[in-house]
Structure 1
Amino acid sequence: MACVLRLTVKLFRGSESTNRGETLHTGGHLDNAQLLTLVSEARVRFFQSLGYRESGVEGLAIVVGDIVAQYKSEGFHGETLRVQILPSDFNKYGFDLVFCMTERSSGREVARDKVGVVFVDAASRTVACIPAAFLARLKN
């Protein structure tokens, strides 16, 4: 199944990570499993930037419903990757986080990723509506 992640608006939140030796595939470029690790770290930083932990967003937990990763170019050892994030496609129970990874010094796009986030009531183990307080914090 083909999936292309299109960036339609400017991404607004960002963080940086240095591409270390353990993130490399035997071919000498960024490994796909490590790409997802970098995306997961950026997701954690996104929630932290809003004052939350993934285990506690207005009394709810979040879970990852799906992940899409799309390479745009190779990432190499020692490069610093800038990760920009755009929350999008909100629905009653969650939203998507779209990630754009670029090499800091050249601006070369390395990857695009999408993570579907779903809110969950941990006690009942059922999906929950996006908290209004979270949406308000996101808008600020």
Structure 2
Amino acid sequence: MARIRLALPAQSLFQLTLPIRIQDINYGGHLSNSAILGLAHEARIAFLAQYGWQELNIEGCGIIMADAAIQFRAEAFHGEVLNISVGLMDAFEYGCDMFYRMIRESDAKEIALVKTALVFFDYGSRSKVAMPAAFASLIPD
């Protein structure tokens, strides 16, 4: 079976530092796959907040996740600190891909790469909508 290989954007637009909490650990004693998506979500919220946006209000539009992919690179453990960088690419009419690179702060070891597909969405009409120009302007060519 072919493995997922994520190609990151050349430019990072945002960085957040987060500790790994005890609830982020699975029965194997390391960072769980569900916690990785949770950390990505936390980084996405912080990224949007720097522009005064929220997931339900980006220039009047909400977003939904159309898909998610994780490329596991190394284990991480309770108490370690991750630096999470966020970037955007692969724009289309209704959205783009958001990428997250998680690196352990203590030794710069890459822990995971994550991609989520953002689709702009009108929760009132339950339909996708065009990406707002202000958000689209953040995506490098």
**Aligning the two structures, in what range does the TM-score lie when normalised by the shorter sequence?**
over 0.9
Match of 1:2 in 2: 3
Match of 1:54 in 2: 55
- Whether 1:66 aligns to 2:70 is no
Letter in 2 for 1:37: G
In structure 2, the CA distance between the partners of 1:133 and 1:12, relative to structure 1 (3 Å rule), is closer
4+ long deviations beyond 2 Å: 133-136
Q: TM-score, normalised by structure 1?
A: 0.92
Deviates more, 1:124-133 or 1:95-104: 124-133
Q: Structure 2 matches for 1:15-30, cutoff 5 A?
A: 15-30=16-31
Letter in 2 for 1:21: I
Letter in 1 for 2:129: A
Structure 2: segments with no counterpart, 5+ residues: none
**1:126 Cα shift?**
1.1
**1:30 Cα shift?**
0.2
Match of 2:46 in 1: 45
Counterparts of 2:116 and 2:128, CA distance in 1? 17
Answer whether contact 2:65 2:119 (CA < 8 A) is retained. yes
Q: Structure 2 matches for 1:1-140, cutoff 5 A?
A: 2-7=3-8, 9-136=10-137, 138=138
How much identity, in percent, do the aligned residues show?
33
Counterparts of 1:135 and 1:117, CA distance in 2? 12
Q: Secondary structure at the match of 2:79?
A: coil
Counterparts of 2:46 and 2:24, CA distance in 1? 19
Alignment size in residue pairs: 138
Letter in 1 for 2:131: I
Q: TM-score, normalised by structure 2?
A: 0.91
In structure 2, the CA distance between the partners of 1:135 and 1:7, relative to structure 1 (3 Å rule), is closer
Counterparts of 1:31 and 1:114, CA distance in 2? 16
